[in-house]
Structures are given as structure tokens and as C-alpha cells.
A = this chain, B = another copy of it.
Amino acid sequence: MKLHNYFRSSASFRVRIALNLKGLDFDYIPVHIARGDHRTGPFSAISADMLVPMLEDEGERFSQSMAIIEYLDETHPEPALLPSDPVGRAHVRALAQSIACEIHPLNNLRVLKYLVKELKLDDAAKNAWYRHWVREGLLSFERQLAQHPGGTYCWGDTPTLADCCLVPQIFNGRRFDCDFTGLPRTMAAFDACMKLDAFQRAQPSQAPDAEA
């Protein structure tokens, strides 16, 4: 298995967590997104969407982090990253999508570049944008967690796809000094995840292409 990846990419981080939780070995192939290597380098010749992460497995190329994690869960079922019942699966997928569709797309690198280059935002306005969507999104995430019975992680007592999405979002938010107050369930799930080796080893600072 080959994982095309960038240490700081949240979506890449999600897949690293899932691979670690499953105990799967993989070759790490760095793609320097901040330098634009996804659009000009050899990666652009093999990736249709020119986005990381991309997973190569069994002669196929897979993109989109949530789709990759579901693929890993179907092909390597233990430990399961989704509940066994349709209701639980729907809620876990919704939690993951609350981050992957409502927060992260607004704050990824190409959007921040557009804000600066095309809209001429200064740093303060760019950071306000960033923090606004993280804060709104996490408050919504917290309300969703509060609707469901308690558990150690986002859903129950084992990490799921939802935790694979939450943890990179918190890391990202910390880089931009976001406000995490008033999020007891969310931050408890984050803290529980970070006690696990699979999450620790997946963090950006531990990636082969990590920069200071």
C-alpha cells in the first residue's frame, strides 16, 4: 500500500490514523502541497483530482479521505471504524461529514490562498474567517455529540471514522489559535484519542516530511 501524503494536510492525517488503527503498513510518499507539487510534479500525472491523500492498493488509486477510510474498513474489518448497525453508521458518518463537509473545506490551503491572492484579505481577516468556521462547526459538532449517549470517543468506546476526522481538525484549529472553550464532549473525545499510539504516531510532527 502506498499513501501519497502531506504532513500538514488534515485529510492526509485522517487516513494515517485509520491505517495505524488497523495496524497496516504503508509506504509514505510525500507530496509538498504548500510548494504546489500536487499540481506540477509527478503526482499530478497519476492523480485525477490532484489532492492528497491518495492511496494506492491492489493496482487501484483511491482519493477522498472518508472514502479511503471506508474502503480500508471494508477490506480490513478489524478493528471496525464504523458501528455494525445502520443507525450507528449513519450517525458516525454524519459526525465525520460535519467536519469534512462543513468545516475543513472552508479552511484548506487553496481557499486561504484565494482569500489572500484574489480577495486581498490581510492576515487578521483571513484568521477571522478561519476561526469563524472552526468555531461554528465545532459548536455544532458538540451539540450533535450531546444528543447521543456518552462514550469515551465521538461514538461509543472505540475510535471511529468520526474521531479520524475530529483529531486533525483540532490540530488545525490550534495552529490558528481557535477557541475550544465550551466543547466538553468534543475535547474529551480528542483527549481520549491522543492517549492512543495510533493517533500519536499519525500526527503531523511524526510524519516523514514534517517541517518545524
Please list the residues of chain A having a beta carbon within 8 angstroms of any beta carbon in chain B. Answer: 48-51, 58, 60-64, 66-68, 70-71, 74-75, 86-87, 89-91, 93-94, 97-98, 100-102, 104-106, 111, 114, 118-119, 121, 125, 128-129, 132, 140, 143-144, 146-147
The count of identical subunits is 2
* A90: chain B residues within 8 A (beta carbon): 60, 62, 67-68, 70-71
A193: shortest Cβ distance to chain B, in Å?
21
A66 touching B49, Cβ below 8 Å: no
* A63: chain B residues within 8 A (beta carbon): 94, 98, 144
Partner of A100, one of B98, B101, B146: B101
Given contacts A71-B86, A94-B63, A114-B132, whether A48 and B147 have CB atoms under 8 Å apart is yes
Partner of A106, one of B91, B98, B106: B106
